[in-house]
Amino acid sequence: MDKVQKGRVLAVNISEEKGTKKTNVQRCALLKDFGLKDDAHGGPWHRQVSLLANESIEKIRAKGLNVSYGDFAENITTEGVDLVHLPIGTIIRIGSSVILRVTQIGKECHTRCAIYYQAGDCVMPKEGIFAEVVNEGEVKVGDEIIIG
């Protein structure tokens, strides 16, 4: 990907349990080799941080479903970045210090989680991406996202 993409953070979401909707906390520390502080999905694995584009959420809203940021259990809701087409290994810079590396595009859902039943559909398996924290720092709503 030669062209620099710029977007912004619309929501920073965490939850205490896996498989549930996340709550927008506006700002949160991203910890190296873990993910978002106090988030159930954090830990030393390849899916430390999940990102989903508002553009994907809008597709579900267009089907008449009333969904909000965090409803698909994404940690960071973005705008203006074509997440689903980023290659594995892509570096994502957020705000002044956070650096993420894309580790996975989409995921296989073996069972229908609470999100699917609450929202009626889920875009996370097809359009969500996952990343690991390379450089920690705080991420907050309104931060600029730079890719490339």
Please give the residue range of the domain that contains residue 134.
5-147
Secondary structure (3-state) at 75: coil
- Whole-number Cα distances in Å, 27 to 73, 102, 143: 16, 21, 10
- For residue 135, the domain's CATH number is 2.40.33.20
CA distance 108 to 88: 16
Query: pLDDT of 74-88, one tens digit each?
Result: 999 999 999 989 999
**How many structural domains is the chain composed of?**
1
Beta bridge partners of 135: 99
Distances (CA, A) of 80 to 43, 115, 135: 28, 24, 22
Tens-digit pLDDT profile for residues 100-123: 999 998 766 656 655 566 556 666
